[in-house]
Amino acid sequence: MTWASVAYAGLLLAAACYFLPATITNVKRSAAAQDCNEDILDLIFALCPPPILAAAGRACKAWRQPAQRALFATISPKWHPGDIEPRWPQLSRSLDESAQLRSYVRYVRILFTRSAELDHFQWLSFLPSQGLNTLVVYGNQDSRTFPALRRLVLSCAAIKSVRSLVLSSPIIGDTAQLEFYLSSCSLEHLGVIFLEAFSTTPMAPKCSTRPIRRLSLQSSDLVDDIPNLIQACSKTLRRLDLNFVNLKPPNRERLTAILAGVPQLEHLFLAWSEYRPIALLDNICRYLPNLRHLRAGACLYTLDLFSNIPPTLKTLHLEYRSTRTSTELFPVEAAIRGLSSHPALERLTLQPHPGSPFVEFPELATACLSRGVHLLVLPTYFRESQLYE
């Protein structure tokens, strides 16, 4: 299997190291980890996110020296396409054969493009019912693996205890299956990538027992399932991440009306951009008086946004479009006026949309300095956080 076929498939098994007992001193107690050859250890630690590396090092002090070398000498904490080819068969065998190693798994992120790849992830069915925190499973638009993926996910006993679950809509299947996932008492974050809309009956009305605090939804446009899902989770929803390929004008007003039904929302991320400024965010902010963190793509706002920023807002992160000679698509003067009267804003982050040149915004920097607002102007397009993380 090539890295290209897996894309950014992630088995962040290394996150498990964070949860290992800090008192491991007996070599025999960590035998399952020691039995992994150095290639497997390399693969595990290559997938460590940077904050986990130090904790992993402390947990692994009783491991053999090769593990130390793999962690601190030869492995980059970030893994990108073009790096070493992953050894999924070897890793699969290690997980198939070691219940202890499976018990360390905390984060699984997989992109399937071929049915043959399923053979390397059958260990998902044998994960313990407690321990897995996050499960992310994608299938691409042309994938024929969706029925098999659905069976694989449902066979995972840990599905009932995950706190974060992200799936492509064909893997979920229908609204009845979606209701099943929502019924989990542990699920706090649900992400759905709508490759297609559900064809069955709409979801049931909102239920007070659902603990969902965050929804991450991606679609070509505002399919009916999205407002149904937001309404079903509205009682406890605090964070909403949305990404549309092409939100048509009639659906902009519809989206505003939907968000007016969740006034308790604290964190909103609109992850797409428009070519010319529209007043979408200007209108939405009127209905979100408790918003604390707001992030949006370029041209989803006009100068009126800065007159409608909720008084509770702490951080504002905006993309902008510009040319070499003009920043007319970002309302600098309106931003300065809005900042001068806002009571709570602590940080303003600006970043250019891909293809737009960097702009320094000196007048805005002066205004932020006088108000005690931290201004971060990123020199290039940089996705600070992924939509589903």
Query: What pLDDT is recorded for position 116?
Result: 60
CA dihedral 149, 234, 314, 254 (to 10 degrees): 90
Domain boundaries, the chain: 268-389
Query: What pLDDT is recorded for position 191?
Result: 93
Residues 81-118: tens digit of each pLDDT: 444 445 566 667 777 777 777 777 777 877 776 666 77
Residues of the chain with confidence (pLDDT) below 50: 1-38, 53-54, 56-85, 207-208, 384-385
**Exposure string for 100-123, b = 16+ CB within 10 A, e = fewer:** ebbbbbbbbbbbbbeeebbebbeb
**Using CA of residue 165, residue 167, residue 169, residue 175, what is the dihedral sign?**
negative
Place of tokens 């996150």: 15
Tokens of 210: 């659902």
Kindly tell me the number of DSSP H helices and DSSP E strands found in the chain. Answer: 16, 12
Query: What pLDDT is recorded for position 3?
Result: 30
Instruction: Dump the DSSP string for 305-358.
Output: HHHH--TT--EEEEEE---SS--TTS-HHHHHHHHHH-SS--EEEEEEPTTPPP
Query: What pLDDT is recorded for position 47?
Result: 52
Tokens of 33: 């980890």
Query: What pLDDT is recorded for position 24?
Result: 28
